[in-house]
Amino acid sequence: MLEVKQINQFYGGSHILRDVSFTAQIGACSVVLGRNGVGKTTFLKCLMGILPIKSGEILLNGKDISKMSPEQRVRAGMAYVPQGRDIFSTLTVEENILIGMAKFSGAKTKKVPSHLYEIFPVLDEMKHRRGGDLSGGQQQQLAIARALASEPSVLILDEPTEGIQPSIIKDIGRVIRKLADNGDMAIVLVEQFYDFAEEIADHYTVMSRGQVVAEGLGADMPAKGIKDLVAI
Ligand SMILES: Nc1ncnc2c1ncn2[C@@H]1O[C@H](COP(=O)(O)OP(=O)(O)OP(=O)(O)O)[C@@H](O)[C@H]1O
Ligand SMILES: [Mg+2]
């Protein structure tokens, strides 16, 4: 389980995250909603250690990871699918997925586990193609497969639906829901679109100007009052 206690982050003199507290449980999908520029990506980068926090705590299964490097956090069980995906366009699909397995050693680092291709059959079909030749939606699926290759206990996704066609958004939603239901992973999903979030959220958190302004159970996600804080 991931617990964030009152973290603060600054870019220079700008106070971006203000006492943000947040919890993500194993077996659940915790969605973070909010408009452009409220600090969602900054929050995720702090979770991964890509950006330092000024104060507060980030606990993974009770252990403070807030001073760890991103690599150490990956070893500890965190995986990150960045906004814009960041796949390696000149490497093949298979090579991209293997990068996600860098934390392991020996033979395990050389073969893509078959269950990843079962989750995303399109990646199996395209495993020898270059990442850059894939569509945006396929690249998003590749970025998720790469993150899953590290066998995370916390999977963090930053706007996986951004710029993606509706049919693939549905597929990705189903995969995320299934991963949460498998019960061995906590999912932290940043999302701007209310409808997608509502469908898969077990828990929701709304951010505005670097602060948490609402939270609750996904089943109780009130459209009114939230819809004006997120993109529709
Ligand atoms: N490297 C940086 N240096 C200074 N300010 C930054 C930097 N990156 C982001 N910011 C500012 O921090 C604030 C939060 O940005 P962030 O990218 O976290 O927002 P976001 O909620 O992810 O937005 P979006 O929905 O557009 O992805 C914004 O005001 C942004 O301009
Ligand atoms: Mg962002």
Domain residue limits, the chain: 2-230
Asked whether 16 lines ligand 1 (CB < 6 A), one says yes
Tokens encoding 174:
């189903």
In whole angstroms, how large is the CA radius of gyration of the chain? Answer: 17
Residue nearest to ligand 1 atom 23, measured at CA = 37
47 CA distance to ligand 2 middle (Å): 14
Residue nearest to ligand 1 atom 9, measured at CA = 42
CATH architecture of 2-230: 3-Layer(aba) Sandwich (3.40)
**pLDDT for the residue numbered 108:** 86
pTM of the full predicted structure? 0.94
Asked whether 39 lines ligand 1 (CB < 6 A), one says yes
Mean pLDDT by 10 residues, the chain (232 residues): 97 96 98 94 98 97 96 97 93 96 89 95 97 95 97 97 91 95 96 88 95 92 66 52
**pLDDT for the residue numbered 229:** 64
**pLDDT for the residue numbered 228:** 63
Alpha-carbon distance of 121 to 127, in angstroms, equals 10
Listed as own residue / partner, the contacts of 23-27 with beta carbons closer than 8 Å and 24 or more positions apart are 23/203, 24/154, 24/186, 24/187, 24/188, 24/203, 25/1, 25/186, 25/202, 25/203, 26/1, 26/153, 26/183, 26/184, 26/185, 26/186, 27/180, 27/181, 27/182, 27/183, 27/184, 27/185, 27/186
**pLDDT for the residue numbered 85:** 85
Q: Rounded to 5 degrees, what are φ and ψ at 208?
A: -145, 130
Asked whether 38 lines ligand 1 (CB < 6 A), one says yes
Asked whether 41 lines ligand 1 (CB < 6 A), one says yes
Asked whether 42 lines ligand 1 (CB < 6 A), one says yes
**pLDDT for the residue numbered 224:** 57
Q: Rounded to 5 degrees, what are φ and ψ at 154?
A: -130, 120
Tokens encoding 154:
């916390």
Asked whether 184 lines ligand 1 (CB < 6 A), one says no
For a ligand 1 pocket test, name from 42, 189, 232 the mutation site with the most ligand atoms within 8 angstroms of its C-beta: 42
Element (H, E) at 146: helix 136-148
- How far is Cα of residue 193 from the mean position of the Cα atoms in its chain? 15
